[in-house]
Amino acid sequence: MTQVAFPYAPDRRGRTTGSDESRHVRNLIEQTLFTAPGERVNRPSFGTPLSQLLFEPNSDDLTTVVQTTVQASLRQSLGGLIEVEQVEVESLDSQLRVTVVYVHRRLGRRESALFVRES
């Protein structure tokens, strides 16, 4: 089944660009990670404070907070689509790297995605 690609864009024929289901779920994870809570009017609890946490001093505590926050947010927002197995967070200089390992429930396939946020 073809889903609408993110970010939205027309293809060469002027039609909506499509995305396969695996890519669509990865895009949903990305949207969840990089949407700040309160940013969506009708879903005030949607998202993670990842952008704000990027400016906190690097520490093991920050890593733990990000891991816990990301896992909880993904389970709440996308629990019907994925089962989160692991979230790894690395903070390197001005870069926050989040790796999410999950099982795509419909496809029954284990997948991994890396997301990088820079200040």
- The mean per-residue pLDDT over the stretch 26-40 comes to 93
Average per-residue pLDDT in the chain?
Answer: 88
- The mean per-residue pLDDT over the stretch 14-19 comes to 87
pLDDT digits 0-9 by tens, 54-73: 777 777 787 888 899 999 99
Number of domains composing the chain:
1
CA atoms within 13 A on the CB side of 26: 17
Residue 112 and residue 52: Cα distance in Å, rounded?
24
Domain with 47 in it:
3-8+17-118
Partnered with residue 86 across adjacent β-strands are: 101
Residue 97 and residue 106: Cα distance in Å, rounded?
27
CATH number at residue 33: 3.10.450.40
* Confidence (pTM): 0.85
Within 10 angstroms of residue 44's Cβ, the number of other Cβ atoms is 10
In this prediction, residue 30 carries a pLDDT of 93
- Confidence band of 1 (pLDDT split at 50, 70, 90): low
How wide is the angle at C-alpha 42 spanned by C-alphas 51 and 114, nearest 5°? Answer: 35
